[in-house]
Structure 1
Amino acid sequence: MHRTLIAFAATALIASPALADRGPSQDEAAKIAASLTAAGFKSWNKIEFSGSVWKVDDARSIEGKTYDLQLSPSDFGIIRKDGD
């Protein structure tokens, strides 16, 4: 019985994801979209909260340039912009 509990606990720890990245809620997505649009972006791909920032992949500016962005978790402002 004791071995069964230990095996179950070990399996649960292995199977449990660490604090996984997550996508935005509907409200967060709307705020992110408003921020990106105001900053001159017309489209973007994946958005996820990772670590302590929002990460936006392949944000395309009105001029056609593509960037990976990091946004502030509090006001969704751009805090980092890396060209692809």
Structure 2
Amino acid sequence: MEVFMKIFALAAAGAAVLVATPALADRAPTTTEAAAIEKAVRAAGFVSWEEVELDDDGPYWEVDDARMADGKRYDLKLRPGTYEIVKRELED
């Protein structure tokens, strides 16, 4: 019975650690990162955009609703560090 209680206590402690660990969340760019992202996005011909965040799944910078002068909107992904646009997806 004592072995069972030790195993149960270890399992419960392990479950508590898993539940207490916060999920990784997307984050906004720092001032320096935001300036580099803006430079790259404007150099590609975009005139405005909405939210910018670092997606921890990539990781890639995601730029939502980047608008070209002709009004077309795109979602962009930029490579961290180089700020190269690696994906453009036209919004409907």
- TM-score scaled by structure 2? 0.75
Cα deviations by residue, 1:6-35 (Å, 9 ceiling, x for unpaired): 68x82x643542221111000000000010
1:22 counterpart letter in structure 2: R
Counterparts of residues 1-84 of structure 1 (less than 5 Å): 10=16, 13-50=18-55, 51=57, 52-84=59-91
Structure 2, unaligned stretches of length 5 or more?
Answer: 1-8
Identical-residue share of aligned pairs (%): 47
The two structures, once aligned, show a CA RMSD in angstroms of 1.9
The two structures have a TM-score, normalised by structure 1, of: 0.81
Alpha-carbon distance between aligned partners in 2 of 1:65 and 1:44, rounded to the nearest angstrom: 11
Based on CA coordinates, which of the two structures has the bigger radius of gyration?
2
